[in-house]
Amino acid sequence: MGAPTLGIIGAGQLAQMSLAPAAALGVNLEILAADSHDSAAQFFPSTIGDYKNLDQLIEFARKCDVITFEHELVPNGHVRRLEELGHTVRPSSSALLHAQDKAHMRKSFASINLPQPRWKVVTAVSEIDSYPVILKSISGGYDGRGVRMVANQVEAQTALTQWGSALAEELIGFDRELSIMIARSPHDQVSTWVVTETVQREGICTETISPAPNLSDATAFSAQQIAMAIAQHIGLVGVMAVELFDVGGTLLINEIALRPHNSGHWSIEGATTSQFEQHIRAVLDLPLGSTALLSEWAVMGNVLGGEKSDLFRPYLHLFARDPELKVHNYGKEVRPGRKVGHVTVTGSNLKELRERVQHAVDYMSGVISE
């Protein structure tokens, strides 16, 4: 068979972090980048093109044995067309649609009775029954964009005027947010990592703790069952993040992502097989790797752009202070609030690990100066 050629559409940090396992496995890689300054394109000789342009997608696909994605922005019709032309696309267009169209996801999951917040697609304010309510753009939202907590009809009208229609979801009084990463291969091999607690601030994930602290076996099992049910139902190939609301141990599905995800970054240092390696194994139909933990806890913190435009100089202080700190700098231009990197520490003292992560991200963002 020889090493296949894997095409990744998208060249952000997720593609960049896929380079190491792709190189280790000796996979021939092709990357379609929107811009030569994209994180992965800085390190890999990528094709520069427009993922919304079908002709360019087809030309790119011709170079690849298997095509996958690092984002959900390729129009679903384009993905279907690639499949019709005989290209192997993983995950498939029909699986991908669940991450591209939130109404489709809710409807599809409801059909197999998966636990979800109450939901309704609305096109007019009159269709909204009560406030406050969560309104979500049907497609295109991430990192808090396209999601609003709406308190009254005026705010709802603003959102609907902007989006045309929206997914209205019951506001859940959750205790915390969780995420579980799962991988599935065409051979139907499935593997999950431990459940992760994700800490959000203003709709953006700032910290993850793996495994989620104080999680009962029953709730962990429930998360795994939900992820496996989704994977089977949508015919997942690759890795998927399932974001969950934890309401007193009862889980409700918030969002899914059909690709490596921020809530799985800890797996680079924290698990035998990272989400990036596992995604490659899955889409190439190789046996999946062990997802065993390498330490008791793994804590990840996102570095959000702040006042410092230079993310390199902080290393002098941070690396001297914490020789075990692992930094991932995405090589992006620093803009306020933008995810420009992440840090991970692993060990056995969770309180201390969280303090070290907090210090590192605050220092890199310029929130603190020493």
The residue ranges that bind a second copy (CB under 8 A) are: 1-4, 16-17, 19-20, 22-26, 28-29, 42-45, 272-273, 281, 286-290, 292, 294-295, 310-313, 315-316, 319-320, 323-324, 326-331, 341
Least distance to a second copy, CB of residue 332, Å: 9
Cβ pair 11, 40 in contact under 8 A = yes
Q: Name the token pair of 47.
A: 């094709």
Helix (H) / strand (E) containing 224: helix 217-234
Q: How far is the CB of 296 from a second copy (least distance, A)?
A: 12
- What is the C-alpha to C-alpha distance for residues 332 and 76, in angstroms, rounded to an integer? 28
- Shortest spacing between CB 252 and a second copy, in angstroms: 32
Give the whole-angstrom CA distance, residue 277 versus residue 264. Answer: 12
Residue with Cβ nearer a second copy (116 or 291): 291
C-alpha–C-alpha distance, residues 64 and 149, integer Å: 42
Q: Contact, 206 vs 161, CB < 8 A?
A: no
> Which phi and psi (to 5°) does residue 131 adopt?
-125, 155
Please, what is the minimum distance in Å from the beta carbon of residue 47 to a second copy?
12
Distance of alpha carbon 141 from alpha carbon 148, whole angstroms: 11
CB 131, min distance to a second copy, A: 44
Q: Which is nearer to a second copy, 43 or 174 (CB)?
A: 43
Which residue spans within 14-96 are E strands per DSSP?
28-33, 47-48, 66-69, 88-89
The answer to whether 228 and 192 are in contact (CB under 8 A) is yes
Q: Which is nearer to a second copy, 110 or 292 (CB)?
A: 292
Residue 181 CB, shortest distance to a second copy, in Å, is 16
Q: Closer CB to a second copy, residue 23 or residue 124?
A: 23
Q: For a second copy, which is the closer residue by CB, 219 or 224?
A: 224
Write out the two tokens for 298: 């793994």
- Quote the least distance from Cβ 22 to a second copy, whole Å: 8
The residue (of 131 and 312) whose beta carbon lies closer to a second copy is 312
**Closest CB to a second copy among residues 48, 172:** 48
Q: Map tokens 């001297």 to a residue.
A: 320
C-alpha distance across the termini of the chain, in Å = 54
Cβ-proximal residues to 320 (8 Å cutoff; 6+ apart), any chain? none
